Amino acid sequence: MPDPGDPKPDPPIAPLAAVRRIVRFLARRPGWAALSIGLLLIHIGIELALPQFVGQAITALAAAGTRAELGRLVGTFLGLVVLRAVVGLVLGPIRNRTAQSTLGDIRAAVYDALQRRSFAWHDNARTGELISRAGTDVGRLQDLFFVCLLFGVDVAAGLVGTLTLIFLTSPRLGLVALAALVPTVATMGWFAARLQPRWRRVHERHGAMSTVIQENIAGVRVVKAFAREPAEIAKFRARRAEFLRELSEAVNYWAGRVPLSQFLFGLAVPLTLWVGGGEVLRGTLALGDLATVLVYQMALGGRIGVIGQITNILQNASSAAQRVVELLDGPEAPGARVGGDRGESQTLERREPIGGAIAFEGVSFRHTSEPSLRVLEASKAATPNQGGSGGSGGASATSGMPGPAVRAMALQDLTFEVPAGASVAVVGPTGSGKSTLLSLIARFHEPTAGRIRLDGTDLRDWNRDTLRRSLGMVFQETFLFSASIAENIALGRPGASRAEIEAAACAARADGFVQELPQGYDTIIGERGLSLSGGQRQRIAIARALLIDPRILLLDDATSAIDPSTEQEIREAMAGLCRGRTVFRVAQRASTVRDADLILILDGGRGVAVGRHDALLADCALYRELFADAGPPETLA
Amino acid sequence: MATHDDIALDEEFAQASLRGSLLRRLFAYTRPYRRAMVTNLVLTLLATASTLAGPRLIQHGIDHALAPMLGTREASDAAIADAARGILFLSGLYLGNLLLGWALTIVQVRTSIETGQGAMNDLRLAVFEHIQRLSLNYFDRTHQGRIIARADSDIDSLDRVLTWGAGQALSSLATLAGVIVLMVHYDARLSLAVCLVLPPLGWLTVWFHRRGREAYRSLRGTQSRLIAAMAENISGVRVVQAFVREAENLRRFRSLHADFTDRWVASARVFHTYMPAVGLLSGLATAIVLGYGGWRVQQGALTVGGLAAFVLYLGLFFGPIQAMGDLYNALLSAAASAERIFALLDTEPQVRDAAGAPDLPRLEGRVSFEGVGFRYDTTPADRWVLEDIAFEVPAGSTVALVGPTGSGKTSIISLLARFYEPQAGCIRIDGLPISDHTLASLHRQLGMVTQENFLFTGTVMDNLKFGRAEATDEEVVAAARALGTHAVIERLPAGYATEIRERGANVSAGERQLLTITRAMVADPRILILDEATSAVDSQTERVIQHALGTLFQRRTSLVIAHRLSTVRHANLILVLDHGRIVERGTHDSLLTSGGLYARMQAELVRT
């Protein structure tokens, strides 16, 4: 394991390599990609051919050509116009489907990579940052695909094609076009690169201003209680002034420079007029060809205008690609894929039904504090301000980790044995390692030293999914997905019938409140649906665990304020759940502890004592302290 | 059931009818920038003229310098030199025209932004200031995200209209009018023929905007579901792995994405029908110019240069129509935003100072509730949140409020802070009814520690001075020392200079509690209102918090929503609330012996 005190990060993937990785996803749909680009090239070809007919018509008219000749030219022109419309009509949906399906592959790859990461990795990553990375950065790749790959092909092919055609018409006019084009593109790239940090600062200032608004409204009670309204207005005014200052800085820079590029490009027309006019006069160029070149020049203007934009998007997208590739390439959780973990082949993994006897043998564990994400956002401000519309509101998940200090051992040299079917109460002060112990049994984390045996076999030699399908877990906080109650209960067994789900809910004492809801089991809950109370959520979690009929139960129940009658119901539900299974339960209250077959007392990661209630009351000082504070057992409801 | 996302989506896509009064009120905010705006509009007309001049110059060059030479195969050198001079002169003119356009663009951009951003920021400030005046009842009934949107994204969405709207509208109209006038000048019949494409183009543009919005709306709905699914799987990753849901969730995500892709393509199809169709119409117009116009040239009714100018003017013909369609659409959305912004500005605060209300004098802190009855705006009319609440607290004592969730504890402290006005009864401090005095003088003598322990971005020191900006650093440190929180603050990465991230994300729950307690101590209020946090902290921190609270309660009247056994044990008076009434009152010991609700609730107060 790397020493956390010595930051030696792997070099992050180079931007270009990252972009190549991302673009390679297109290769999964070679036919569609080829079709898109082929049609696009045809479209550009027609586009470039059209001015030729305009020029020929003018030449014909100037030379007093026949009406039939004119008619033929116009007829061909019209035919090409119709063909262009048809190609455009077909091309649009095809290229959109190609790009968006490829993005779907990338999104799914990121989604899957993230859900296979180890708990340790997720512990050290900030949820909010992950969510924004998975959302915003993949969104920026969307720009990469649409603007650069398709639009970029358009601009590049258009530029090269137009220039070639002008050269073919008249080499001197080609040189004129090139002479105008090169400084235009150069200055545009130059200005775009210098403008980007300025716009980023504007966004930053805008973000700072928005932060004042958001905090002011979120903290409205504090603001009012301390009579801070005037100070808040002053703060807002100051932020607003900073924003306006940055904005006018950027605008002045823009206004002072970018129109220069447009001017430089505009020079092509009078130069063409002058040089081309001379050629026409000398008889080396047809009048219509001069007109063709002028039309080409004007069409180029439209393509040139987006070059600065493309430069910006490429820059943003390449850093986004770096961050996305980092998400794709991170370490997988132990056992996330069959086989490989300890070098054994898949066939050696134990998959038979689990009995439930657990033994800890000298188990120690230390959380790593290596940050999970290294490629940092160049600037948060590059994220456009989304307002409240996304509504993902990750604000609730603030249980985040403390600073990246060197972590102490969370568990140290723990040894004990539990027979199948026994119930264990894990007891100890906050931070003593109770939840960590449970997470080791579920193989969310791997011991740093020592080993855990299940039915006599090292946990690592069990198939991970077999293990987890035999585990029922109730966490401190019940995570509900934005789905119906039935789907939430059937989380571990998506194929469960409605009758089975209802039976589990009844046993968990959840049926009562569910039936009272307007849509019953079909009520949508979670972030985007109805929010349930703490007690209700917990009963959903118990129903979830019951439905998979686990051999081992890991209960890390919440202690947050739940009113006494709910508390009673939950206790009854828990009792039903525990019968006949191996149970590890983090216990806060004396009543639950007393009934356990075995009590395990932790303090600072060490096992202080193991035994039954009466024995521990007699000889364990910490146990007495923990359960004496709440008053004598009689007053505990 | 409408979720918050649906509401946000509705807002995003709302379009208001263009009432004159609404637009007048909106554009009134540009009045301070009238000079910039007028300058901008004048320059816009000049710039339009400059753009229109380009093809006219080219026509002139073709007809007067080039075409005459083409007829005469063997032109004299002098004639060629003469024509070349003419060409050079015209190129020079064209160059001058370009220079003019360059200068105009620079000033146009500056004046546009000055007008638009000036107006937007004045409006933003007005909204922010008004939000400071609003009472809590508004914040209760309005979702936080929506209030933020009023001062933030709603105003941003006015950008298009306030900054560029007037200039674009004028430029589009002038260009279109100018192009038509010039075309008619060259050849009225040909112009009429070209204008045949205008009605279908207009119809197409209307169709595009209507269908485009519908498709985009349905796309946005799916998109936010997609992002939510991603976010949810990340937040819930531990549950996903615990229940071995990886494969199933990936399958669902893929099918959600397939749905998204379909809608994306449907939405793109609208655009990719419109653009080829516009291309078809513009090609048709060019064909008319070449065919019918060519015939007219052969007839001698039009010059070759005129025909070339026609082709070039066609290029300027389609842009303005598309721009106007765009602008009209933007105007409808901006009107909807403006309507919501003005609705906020027109909301009157519920709690206001009575006319000529005096300040409260320096308070001793004797608090009394006399027959107070209260309901929120959102409470059903037949129910009370608080009913007949009466109690009296001597100055300097500590009162603990306990009771089940929803029993009215928070409402009592909110009424004392005069966040709301009670419907019945009277609240007095030192015998003075608080509703007869100014709100500011009450809040200046009040300190508050809330459940969420809200911190602002800025340094720890800034946060601690929040309640008393004029406090010196020494005073802050002295307060922290007195509370025993100094050591904890010193342990933060940069001590008192540590930058707090948004919502205190970089300090632990326990540290947040300690910081807000210290913040209240620095403010040194006469009356302290405290809503104890329920989040679990380790035992070490818990001891520091208890000690700090004990110190904070000294020398001031304290009203506490208590979750700690230590707090209720030391309270001078405990009020037990149930369903909005005080059901028991007394000290910890007396209430335990009487064996009522309080005694039964003891199990909840396990944290010492």
pLDDT for residue B505 is more than 80 = no
- Class of the B452-524 domain? alpha beta
Tokens of B257: 């994405």
Query: Cα–chain-centroid distance for residue A239?
Result: 30
Segment A50-72 shows an average pLDDT of: 85
β-pairing verdict for B573-578 and B581-586: antiparallel
A578 falls in which pLDDT band (50, 70, 90)?
A: confident
B20 falls in which pLDDT band (50, 70, 90)?
A: confident
pTM for the predicted model, two decimal places = 0.77
The gap between the terminal CA atoms of chain B, to the nearest Å, is 42
Partners of residue A340 on adjacent β-strands: none
- From residue A78, alpha-carbon distances to A66, A83, B292, B461 in Å are 19, 9, 13, 74
Cross-chain Cβ contact B235/A479 below 8 Å: yes
Segment A190-203 shows an average pLDDT of: 86
pLDDT at B111: 93
Domain B353-445+527-533+557-608 is of which CATH architecture?
Answer: 3-Layer(aba) Sandwich (3.40)
pLDDT tens, B409-425? 889 999 998 989 999 99
**Dihedral sign computed on CA atoms, order A89, A91, A97, A103:** negative
Question: Does residue B597 or residue B605 have the better pLDDT?
Answer: B597
Q: A12-170+313-333 has which CATH code?
A: 1.20.1560.10
pLDDT tens, A322-342? 888 888 887 777 665 544 444
pLDDT for residue B468 is more than 90 = no
Cross-chain Cβ contact B443/A224 below 8 Å: yes
* Domain spans of chain A, in order of start: 12-170+313-333, 171-284, 353-364+407-635
pLDDT at A5: 38
Chain A contact probe: residue of B50, B72, B112, B128 with most A CBs at under 10 A: B128
pLDDT tens, B289-315? 999 999 998 888 888 889 889 888 988
Same fold, A12-170+313-333 and A353-364+407-635: no
Question: Does residue B150 or residue A587 have the better pLDDT?
Answer: B150
How many Å apart are CA A534 and CA B351, to the nearest integer? 34
A631 falls in which pLDDT band (50, 70, 90)?
A: very low
A400 falls in which pLDDT band (50, 70, 90)?
A: very low
B58 falls in which pLDDT band (50, 70, 90)?
A: confident
Greatest mean pLDDT among A77-91, A599-613, B152-166 lies in A77-91
pLDDT for residue A389 is more than 70 = no
Segment A598-609 shows an average pLDDT of: 84
Percent pLDDT > 70 in chain A is 84
pLDDT at A590: 65
Least CB–CB distance from B8: residue in A112, A247, A388: A388
pLDDT for residue B2 is more than 50 = no
A565 falls in which pLDDT band (50, 70, 90)?
A: low
How many Å apart are CA B239 and CA A92, to the nearest integer? 41
pLDDT for residue A78 is more than 90 = yes
**Dihedral sign computed on CA atoms, order B505, B511, B516, B518:** negative
Which of A198-212, A316-330, B4-18, B485-499 shows the lowest mean pLDDT across its residues? Answer: B4-18
Domain B1-186+326-350 is of which CATH architecture?
Answer: Up-down Bundle (1.20)
Least CB–CB distance from B250: residue in A62, A108, A216: A108
* Domain spans of chain B, in order of start: 1-186+326-350, 188-301, 353-445+527-533+557-608, 452-524
CATH topology of domain A353-364+407-635: Rossmann fold (3.40.50)
Backbone angles phi, psi at A7, to 5 degrees: -70, 110
Helix axes A30-62, B246-299, angle to 10 degrees: 10
Chain A CB contacts of B287 under 8 Å are 74, 77-78, 81
pLDDT tens, A38-56? 999 999 999 999 989 988 8
pLDDT at A537: 85
Question: Does residue B119 or residue A261 have the better pLDDT?
Answer: B119
A384 falls in which pLDDT band (50, 70, 90)?
A: very low
Q: To the nearest whole number, what is the mean pLDDT of chain A?
A: 80
How many Å apart are CA B51 and CA B98, to the nearest integer? 9
Greatest mean pLDDT among A546-560, B193-207, B505-519, B594-608 lies in B193-207
pLDDT tens, A228-280? 888 899 999 999 999 999 999 998 898 888 888 888 888 888 899 889 988 88
Chain A CB contacts of B144 under 8 Å are 217-218
pLDDT at A557: 66
Mention every residue, 6+ apart, whose C-beta is less than 8 A from residue A329.
Answer: A13, A113
How many Å apart are CA A231 and CA A401, to the nearest integer? 33
Q: To the nearest whole number, what is the mean pLDDT of chain B?
A: 87
Chain A CB contacts of B241 under 8 Å are 115, 119, 333, 444, 468
Tokens of B471: 């406090």
Chain B contact probe: residue of A110, A223, A226, A536 with most B CBs at under 10 A: A226
Cross-chain Cβ contact B228/A392 below 8 Å: yes
Least CB–CB distance from A391: residue in B8, B405, B493: B8
Segment B236-265 shows an average pLDDT of: 89
